[in-house]
Structure 1
């Protein structure tokens, strides 16, 4: 039972968009085991665009969502367990851990094959230990500038030397052995770390470490993001960037059996009743539309064009009576899975920006004053329509390290913000607007998106900044482009979000780690004090001592103010009655593998 259970799970996360794509199949695929029914279709909508599907190069949430269904890490998560529980994915079992947690030995299940692709020249490609070695090396190749390097940077024995050589020669030697990454045999992978890392198994389960094939990467090069080829249950049939993504069952996928244990909730009990013992995946086709405007997405759901959707915030007064569905929706047999995100939203200040960036006291004062002008209460009532809770710290509810007693040191206080600006020489002119201390104009640029909710947020920002006498210009773009620009430290201010890739606070604290500038640290924040706390924290086992360091890192962040914490969104997932087995997982997003569709 366990062997079949191991194979059912899918992982990640995070973010990217380009051109057109179609995957082709080969004749031998008809012999494979994927039990999916091509007549079972799930229709879903994304509220923002992906950025392609090369997970080494992107942390776009929507790219990660799709990629989870295509690429498979060694480990994944139990679909129902709470708190989140690691389980094997392509590994036969959880790894053997030796030498005080420094050495991990994984046994890979034989007979797992990549989806057919022209890059394999008509041959079947079986997943082996070498594929994972190549995948880990590719994340660390300096030319890829992967936003995920910090997950394993400095951790794998001998990797630092390979990176240093690559930087010197301009080329990573993928054929050179690395002591900490070794294929003991075709199906056995041995990973040796420089020191104990108590989150390493979470990292192994992260989507960026889903196996890729060297043949595919060599064949497609810079276009790899348009040609994702993995061992997972789905592959891309059609890709129209920023418009449409269609996934179909990967005929090479081995198939699994649904066998998860209920947590005891009524929701879980119904899922077990509907799904236990079914061959997976059941769904043969996933149709994803990119609909950025909330009203349009809500109309599509109401019109029956979408089977599962995150209730748009604008629909809350229409749909909800408190935290329950109104009778008009209950009568349609629509069900609601209501959960807070295992994530947070925040405002990023680019520390390299000539206006809001910098580390001198006057620049810190400017950021602090701007942050104090923002009304979280208005965000929750006006922008989120009550579907959120204020974030006090970088780590959200439900993630290890969250402290319910922690309170931010940055209040919403217009009077104090004005005094701070006065003290540091940001003088008001005759028109009431302030100048920089040197007398030059003070104008901040705030990047945003065109969605209705962000228009409301811009109004909240402007109201507060007007009271400070600070001019603001709003630069409207789309999420994928804004993410690219922010990654390159080319955006002054931007509101964004982060959902947990694994259930420990390190996943959030690493977003301000100095070496990740231009590789995921969107603030391009550099703080020796913060980095020292981060390094010390990750060297400790999970527990109170580590959590205290997380709190200190939060205080250091507040002192320098590269971020302003905003809110955690409460998600109400609406599910049509013919969709069976749906439950929003805190870490996994691509749940299509685990659900079913009744004929309707």
Structure 2
């Protein structure tokens, strides 16, 4: 049953400089999973949450390398004890959007709201995927988590030495060890301020009723179909005043946007369009203001030099190519009776499957050349990446066949292999319905046929596949992880044993891997690279993942959009844009 959520909205815009007639139209290629980021790490949910919930700090829009700037904080934190104590002063006069949960009272943002929001991440009942970001980092926090695991109840009124409000507008973090990376964690969407009254009022429906202090608020929501945001009428606004990095693109943005009161966009209409061809047609007919080029659209839009062709340029369309700080991969469920387990024969099976995958063909056919091979768990652009690291797993179907033969996976009369005990062997691979997913499935079938392994493809949607993976209820599925903050721990935590049921969708537990991870977390970020390399080697030995690629996103932007730039970490830029309604209407 499809339901529509319509939020109560004040009429007109009060403080915000946003203009109601300026409407931005964008698309998500997969559905969100609600907007309670404590309970999901859905990429598209995070895109929306980022403009509703405000963190203490956020990223400068143009700076590269990335740097933090204050959001609700008055300034960047004071730092004591060599990066072990961080103290933030919050701006007064910031208010949550009006909501029934506040019973008609105007509700100001205070330091305790951030304390409460972090406690929600700690609460074991929430199974927060981002728990690993602060696991064993806040003084006294894990003791409260342990108590909750024993009693079945998390004490939200208990004091935690590691995160506390010193007064109404001051919050202090005390870490178990120095960590200069910690403020970057606080810029992630899950660490936005949530009011306790709202959580207790909406309970299990909180994900459909996000209430924050950010530039936008949810006005209409049809799950898995439409999301409509309007400018928060009580938002204080800011002035577009970013400095160019010296590129021609940045120089043009500064020229267009400097001095403008922001946000300018009064409404953001988000459509869920999973089919690539439909999304490309929507962009061509100007129903979308910007989008990434789909695989099938790349040959139609780019020339042999990967520049926009003449026809696109004549329409005034612009191109922004952005190499993502991400890795993509195929996951095995390590608890699955067919592909999971740590016996030599199961490791051999996963290794053979990994060696059967023709990554070069995958990049050529599916990515149209717009990607590079991912060599290690930590991608380029993230602290801990070693550009000289090379994976020990390569495309080698001949060796894969020999490996399967050696471990007793013999072929039957039908040409497909069976388990060493003689039982039929069939891989069940979760996938989605879009054209690129169909091509991906066809490539997998071709590769697996070459080593004699039968595969069935279970077509569903991204949100349901994500739920199944989080619950360890699948066999194989493909995934991607974009940097939430520029530190390798953000990627390596995805295979840490304690994160099963959270971010560890492979349900992988390895004493060796966990040991490397724990040792790395005891070090300063700039000393962790050798351990990230060891973790990558352990993954190559156990094969819970098949590492694939890092994509180059080709953003195409309609001529009426001003201020657009894809950020290396931050995924939502709507509050930094302007649009010319007269051009859009034409």
TM over 0.5: yes
User: In 1, distance between residues paired with 2:456 and 2:355?
Assistant: 18
1:435 aligns with 2:425: no
Match of 2:6, SS state, is: coil
2:197 aligned counterpart, secondary structure: helix
**2:195 match:** 213
Q: Partner of 1:362 in structure 2?
A: 345
- Residue equivalent to 1:277: 259
1:18 to partner: Cα distance:
8.1
Q: Among 309, 315, 318, which residue is 1:335 paired with?
A: 318
Kept in 2, the 8 Å contact 1:55–1:63? The answer is: yes
434-443 vs 125-134, which deviates more?
Answer: 434-443
Q: How many residues align?
A: 581
1:256 aligns to 2:238 (yes or no): yes
Given candidates 270, 292, 303, the residue that maps to 1:310 is 292
* Residues 222 and 95 of structure 1, relative CA distance in 2, 3 Å threshold: same
Structure 2 residues without counterparts, runs of 5 or longer: none
RMSD over equivalenced CA pairs, Å: 1.3
Select the residue among 150, 156, 170 that pairs with 1:174: 156
Task: Give the Cα separation in 2 of the matches to 1:527 and 1:97.
Answer: 36
Which stretch shows the higher mean deviation, 308-317 or 431-440? 431-440
Matched, 1:226 2:208: yes
Measure, in 2, the Cα distance between the counterparts of 1:84 and 1:510. Answer: 22
- Map 1:161-200 to 2 at 5 A: 161-200=143-182
Output the CA distance in 2 between the equivalents of 1:378 and 1:563: 19
Q: Give distance in 2, aligned partners of 1:18 and 1:216.
A: 24
Q: Who is 1:452 aligned against?
A: 435
Which one of 22, 27, 31 corresponds to residue 45 of structure 1? 27
User: What are the Cα deviations for residues 123-168 of structure 1, in whole angstroms up to 9, with x where unaligned?
Assistant: 1111110000000000110111111111111111111121122222
1:578 paired to 2:549? no
Partner of 1:412: 395
Q: Tell whether 2:94 aligns with 1:112.
A: yes
* CA distance in 1: counterparts of 2:175 and 2:386, whole angstroms: 30
Q: What's 2:454 paired with?
A: 471
Q: Give how far 1:330 is off.
A: 0.6
Q: Are the aligned partners of 1:25 and 1:117 in contact in 2 as well (CA < 8 Å)? A: no
Q: For each residue in 1:19-46, what CA deviation from the matched residue of structure 2 results, as whole angstroms up to 9, or x when unmatched?
A: 432221358x86x421100111110011
C-alpha contact 1:20 1:226 (8 A) present in aligned 2: no
Write the distance in 1 (CA, Å) between the matches of 2:529 and 2:140. Answer: 30
* Structure 1, unpaired ranges of 5+: 1-16
CA distance in 2, matches of 1:140, 1:438: 45
Could you tell me how far apart the structure 2 residues matched to 1:369 and 1:258 are?
53
The DSSP-based 3-state class of the residue aligned with 1:468 is coil
Is the 1:255–1:281 Cα contact (8 Å) retained in structure 2? Answer: yes
Cα contact 2:10–2:233 (8 A) shared by 1: no
Shift of 1:362: 0.7
Q: Does 1:73 align with 2:55?
A: yes
Q: Distance in 2 between matches of 1:35 and 1:512?
A: 44
1:20 is matched with 4
Q: Which residue of 2 aligns with 1:530?
A: 513
After TM superposition, give the deviation of residue 524 of structure 1 in Å.
Answer: 0.6
Structure-2 separation of matches of 1:20 and 1:375 = 43
- The equivalent of 1:506 in structure 2 is 489
CA distance in 2, matches of 1:267, 1:197: 34
Aligned-residue offset at 1:309? 0.8
Deviation at 1:400, TM superposition (A): 1.8
**What does residue 17 of structure 2 align with?**
35
Q: How many Å separate the matches in 2 of 1:77 and 1:486? A: 30
Give the one of 416, 422, 444 matched to 1:461: 444
1:123 partner SS: coil
Distance 1:26 1:415 in 2: 66
Distance 1:165 1:546 in 2: 31
| Maintained 8 Å contact 1:372/1:413 | yes
Secondary structure of 2:455 counterpart: strand
Kindly provide the CA deviation profile for residues 373-398 of structure 1, in whole angstroms up to 9, marking residues without a partner as x.
11001111111111211111122222
Corresponding residue for residue 397 of structure 1: 380
* 589-598 or 214-223, which deviates more: 589-598
3-state SS, counterpart of residue 314 of structure 1: coil
Aligned to 1:40, what secondary structure does the other structure show?
strand
| Whole-angstrom distance in 1 between the partners of 2:290 and 2:105 | 37
Q: Once superposed, which parts of structure 1, at least 4 consecutive aligned residues long, lie more than 2 Å away?
A: 17-20
Per-residue deviation, residues 318-340 of structure 1 (Å, max 9, x unmatched): 10012210010111111111111
The alpha-carbon deviation at position 88 of structure 1 amounts to: 1.0
Return the alpha-carbon distance in structure 2 between the equivalents of residues 216 and 18 of structure 1. 24
Q: 1:559 aligns with which of 541, 549, 568?
A: 541
Q: Distance in 2 between matches of 1:74 and 1:22?
A: 28
